[in-house]
Amino acid sequence: MRQLILGGARSGKSALAECLAQATHKRLIYIATSDARRNDTEMAERIARHQHQRGSGWHTIEEPIALATTLLQHCRADTCVLIDCTTLWLTNCLFSTPNCWHKEKLALLEALPKLAGEVIFVGNEVGQGIVPLGEINRSFVDESGLLHQDLARICNRVIFSTAGLPQVLKGEAL
Q: Which of 87, 174, 76, 154 is nearest to 122 (CA)?
A: 87
Instruction: Out of 50, 74, 102, 148, pick the active-site residue.
Output: 50
Does the pTM exceed 0.85? Answer: yes
**pLDDT of amino acid 50:** 73
**pLDDT of amino acid 132:** 86
Task: Return averaged pLDDT per consecutive 10 residues of the chain, 174 residues in all.
Answer: 96 96 98 78 74 83 96 98 97 93 98 97 93 92 97 98 98 96
**pLDDT of amino acid 37:** 63
Cβ neighbours around 143 below 10 Å, total: 18
**pLDDT of amino acid 36:** 66
**pLDDT of amino acid 152:** 98
How far is CA 137 from each of CA 19, 20, 75, 149, rounded to the nearest angstrom? 32, 32, 33, 18
| Fold of the 2-170 domain | Rossmann fold (3.40.50)
74 is catalytic: no
| Residue spans per domain, the chain | 2-170
**pLDDT of amino acid 130:** 85
Q: Which of 98, 123, 95 is nearest to 108 (CA)?
A: 123
